[in-house]
Structure 1
Amino acid sequence: MEKQFTHIESGRARMIDISGKTDIARLARAAGEIVLSGETLEKIKTGDVEKGNVLATARVAAVLAIKKTPEIIPMCHQIPITAIDVDFDIGEGMISAVVEVRTFGKTGVEMEALTGVSAALLTIWDMVKSAEKDESGNYPHTSIKNIRVLEKLKG
């Protein structure tokens, strides 16, 4: 059955004017998980992944992605990032990532936190994909899920 698509075009796209807002302290925390096989998780724990230290690389990827968020998400403002924390927890069948971003500015940092989590989880997948592939080269059990904002604070 052929799918039908409707093209919708809005009249314009614009960045919101934040010039009248006051600079204040802002924080956002985001999280997400990647589902991996037990064998892959053990390789990560023991440092036996061919591409190197998975979590250290994912942490750097998160930081870089946070700094580049306005280049990736068109309507995000360039804002000064004052702090970034990236934490991982290896659980039963998955790795959880939590990213916290802070700024002192006119707009929030939830998109930066979400971008950081996404990049961290994608980097983990990239680094372990050879261990996660099945015989046909697919990833039947690997997935990224539950990317969400945990907390957004200002003031």
Structure 2
Amino acid sequence: MSKLSHYDEAGEAHMVDVSGKTATRREATAGAFVELSEAVLAALPQNPKGNPLEVARFAGIMAAKQTSSLIPMCHPLALSFVDVAATVVAGGVKIEATAATTAGTGVEMEAMVAASVAALTVYDMTKALDKGIRIREVVLLRKSGGKSGDYVRSEV
């Protein structure tokens, strides 16, 4: 097993110095699932707060740009692309968030934060109808670029 890069020899957390890494195109996609009852799914188009899926999309995009403010050891990145899709599927809303950059470090955290905040926004927009809403399976789906190479999540 590799050692965790955010810890020094004394076990203290620190930000990794990526200044020596080559800037390459890096992209990551993360997903989340918001489990909703049939009643809440049926009510989505009539939400008095607006379209929850569109608000969630914008919230996810904004969140990706704030990742380094939320996660202490993340580097601020100039994102070249962020996209969030929120799709109604059987049993809830499927979220997919993609972030891309050309940098010396990856964008997995930006994609994960975007998916998480989009899912939380769906919750916020629908919680008046059901307090039992569950957010599940916030996961990295795929990534490309960087020293560790490509990754595609295998379905479990």
TM-score bin (small chain): 0.7 to 0.9
What corresponds to 1:97 in structure 2? Answer: 95
Between the aligned residues of both structures, percent identity stands at: 38
* Structure with bigger RCO (C-alpha 8 Å, 6+ apart): 1
Q: Deviations over 1:73-132 (max 9, x none)?
A: 000000110001111221111110000100000000000000000000000000100011
In 2, Cα distance between equivalents of 1:82 and 1:55: 23
In 2, Cα distance between equivalents of 1:11 and 1:148: 27
| TM-score, length-scaled by structure 2 | 0.84
Q: Deviations over 1:39-79 (max 9, x none)?
A: 111111xx201211101110111011100000000000001
**Aligned AA for 2:114?**
G
**Aligned AA for 1:69?**
T
Alignment of 1:48-87 (within 5 A): 48-87=46-85
Question: How many residues were matched structurally?
Answer: 137
Alignment of 1:42-53 (within 5 A): 42-44=42-44, 47-53=45-51
What corresponds to 1:35 in structure 2? Answer: 35
Runs of 4+ in 1 over 3 A off after TM superposition: none
What corresponds to 1:136 in structure 2? Answer: none
In 1, Cα distance between equivalents of 2:116 and 2:52: 15
Q: Structure 1 unaligned segments of length 5 or more: list them.
A: 1-9, 134-138
Q: Structure 2 unaligned segments of length 5 or more: list them.
A: 1-9, 147-156
Report the CA distance between 1:12 and its aligned residue. Answer: 2.2
**Aligned AA for 1:110?**
E
In 2, Cα distance between equivalents of 1:126 and 1:66: 18
In 1, Cα distance between equivalents of 2:31 and 2:66: 18
**Aligned AA for 2:26?**
R
| TM-score, length-scaled by structure 1 | 0.85
What corresponds to 1:3 in structure 2? Answer: none
The reply to whether residue 147 of structure 1 matches residue 132 of structure 2 is no
In 2, Cα distance between equivalents of 1:86 and 1:11: 36
Highest Rg: 1 or 2? 1
**Aligned AA for 1:31?**
G
In 1, Cα distance between equivalents of 2:83 and 2:13: 32
Report the CA distance between 1:11 and its aligned residue. Answer: 5.0
In 2, Cα distance between equivalents of 1:56 and 1:87: 9
